[in-house]
Amino acid sequence: MRTVITILAFVIAYLPAQSQNNAIDRFFSAYENNENFTVVFVSPKMFEMVAKATNDSKNSDIKELVKDIRGLKILSTKKDPLKYYNEASKKIPLNEYEVLMTVRDKGDNVKFLTKGSGDIVDELLLLVGGNDDFVLMSFVGKLDLNKISKLANKLDIQGSEHLDKLKDKK
C-alpha cells in the first residue's frame, strides 16, 4: 500500500511541474509551432555579451538601459492580428501583471504591462494588435520605467529608422 501511495504521489507531483512556466512563456511556446509567427529570442547570455560590447559606446542612455535587460522575446504575425491580440489579452494573468498603459488609435491597440512593483520592474510587456500586425514583446530584467520613458522621447527620431530595419528582417 505504501508503495502504491508513493508512486501516485510521484505521478501527481510530476503533473504540475510540466505547466510551471509562467503564462507568457506558455503563450510563446504555444505559437512556436505555428508557421505564421515570427519569434525573436535574445538570451540572457547574449545580453551579457551585449553589455560588454556596449561598454565603450557613446550613447550612455542606451548603454544604461541595455545593461539592465536580461532577456528579450518577440512574437509577431501578420495573420489575424486582432484575433491573437484578444487571445493574448485574455491569457495574460492580471494578478501577476499590472496594466501600465492602454492606447487605442485608429484600430491599433497597444497595451503596456509590467510585472513587479515600483519604478523598477521585473518584466515589461508590450502587446500590439492592429489591422496589420500582432506583436507581443517581453523584456525581462531590472527595468527602470523612468529610463524607458526618457529614452522614448530621445529615440523618437531614430525610432522610425530602426523600425524599417525590423521590417526588412521579417
Partner 1 sequence: MNNLYIDQLLEKFWSAETTEQEEKELKTYFEQADIDESHAYASPFFVDFVQDKGESEDFTHLIIQKFIKKYFDATASLEEEQLIHEYFSQDDVHENLKCYHGLFRSFQLMGQVQFDKPLALKQKPASGIRIISLTWVKVAAAAVFFVVGGLFLFKSINQEQTAPLAKARYIEPENPEEALEMTLQALAMVSRKYKKGEEQLLQGMKTINNAKGAGN
Q: By the criterion CB under 8 A, which residues form the site for partner 1?
A: 1, 4, 7-8, 11, 31-43, 46-47, 49-50, 52-54, 62, 65-66, 69, 72, 74-75, 101-103, 105, 110, 112, 124, 126, 128, 135, 137, 139, 148-149, 151-156, 158-163, 165-166, 169
Q: Least distance in Å: CB of 80 to partner 1?
A: 14
Q: Least distance in Å: CB of 5 to partner 1?
A: 9
In this structure, which amino acid lies at residue 45?
K
Q: Least distance in Å: CB of 143 to partner 1?
A: 10
Residue 114 buriedness (CB in 10 A; 0-12 / 13-18 / 19+): buried
Region class of 110: left (phi > 0), else alpha (psi between -120 and 50), else beta: beta
Q: Least distance in Å: CB of 22 to partner 1?
A: 19
Distance of alpha carbon 33 from alpha carbon 52, whole angstroms: 33
Task: Indicate the residue among 22 and 155 with the shorter CB distance to partner 1.
Answer: 155
Cβ(46)–Cβ(140) below 8 Å: no
Task: Indicate the residue among 118 and 161 with the shorter CB distance to partner 1.
Answer: 161
Task: Indicate the residue among 69 and 88 with the shorter CB distance to partner 1.
Answer: 69
Phi first, then psi: give them for residue 67, nearest 5 degrees.
Answer: -60, -35
Task: Indicate the residue among 42 and 120 with the shorter CB distance to partner 1.
Answer: 42
Distance of alpha carbon 74 from alpha carbon 18, whole angstroms: 23
